[in-house]
């Protein structure tokens, strides 16, 4: 009986150590959904900017060139393909924009990277990625 109690205690201790590590790896792996979606919107923004005066200030079903960045829409999905992130555009103008991917569902428990952003501007034409540890 003592042996069984010891075995159960050891298994419980191993589970207590392994589960947080496993969850951390799962959160990290699911971040690829955000990266792919952000980079897809970035590519669509570049295509849109080749024909419009402004980068898109919103994500929609089709490209729409507006009189201002707030009226300009870039074609894309507002949710990541796997559904772990919601995408949004902010700070759009003729030479800059920011794409944010905010974790939803169980992925929102990823306390290290709840929001992943890419800020594109004249100083950072390839995009400033933040938080850096999430990329």
Give how many domains the chain has, as a whole number.
1
Residue 80: the pLDDT is 97
Instruction: Give domain status of residue 122, yes or no.
Output: yes
The residue to which tokens 């952003």 are assigned: 117
Helix (H) or strand (E) holding 31: helix 2-49
Residue 58 · residue 89 · CB < 8 Å: yes
Residue 113 · residue 131 · CB < 8 Å: yes
Instruction: Give domain status of residue 101, yes or no.
Output: yes
Residue 35: the pLDDT is 97
Beta carbons within 10 angstroms of residue 97's beta carbon: 26
Instruction: Give domain status of residue 118, yes or no.
Output: yes
Give 10-residue mean pLDDT values along the chain (135 residues). Answer: 84 76 89 97 96 96 93 96 97 96 97 97 95 94
Instruction: Give domain status of residue 88, yes or no.
Output: yes
DSSP 8-state symbol, 125 = T
Residue 13: the pLDDT is 78
Tokens matching residue 94: 């003729």
Instruction: Give domain status of residue 31, yes or no.
Output: no
Spatial strand order of the sheet with 97-103 comes to 85-90, 97-103, 115-120, 128-130
Burial 4-27 (b: 16+ CB within 10 A, else e): eeeeeeeeeeeeeeeeeeeeeeeb
Q: Residue 124 is part of which domain span?
A: 54-135
Residue 4: the pLDDT is 84
Residue 11: the pLDDT is 83
Instruction: Give domain status of residue 68, yes or no.
Output: yes
Instruction: Give domain status of residue 89, yes or no.
Output: yes
Instruction: Give domain status of residue 135, yes or no.
Output: yes
Residue 75 · residue 63 · CB < 8 Å: yes
Residue 10: the pLDDT is 83
Tokens matching residue 76: 């894309």
């Amino acid at each position: 009986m003592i042996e069984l109690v010891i075995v159960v205690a050891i298994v419980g201790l191993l589970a207590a150590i392994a589960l947080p590590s496993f969850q951390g790896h799962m959160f990290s792996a699911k971040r690829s959904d955000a990266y792919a979606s952000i980079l897809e919107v970035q590519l669509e923004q570049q295509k849109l900017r080749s024909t419009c005066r402004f980068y898109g200030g919103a994500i929609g079903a089709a490209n729409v060139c507006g009189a201002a960045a707030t009226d300009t829409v870039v074609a894309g999905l507002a949710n990541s393909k796997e559904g772990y992130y919601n995408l949004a555009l902010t700070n759009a103008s003729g030479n800059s924009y920011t794409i944010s991917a905010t974790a939803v569902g169980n992925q929102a428990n990823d306390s290290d990277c709840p929001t992943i952003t890419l800020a594109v501007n004249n100083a950072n034409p390839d995009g400033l990625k933040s938080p850096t540890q999430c990329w």
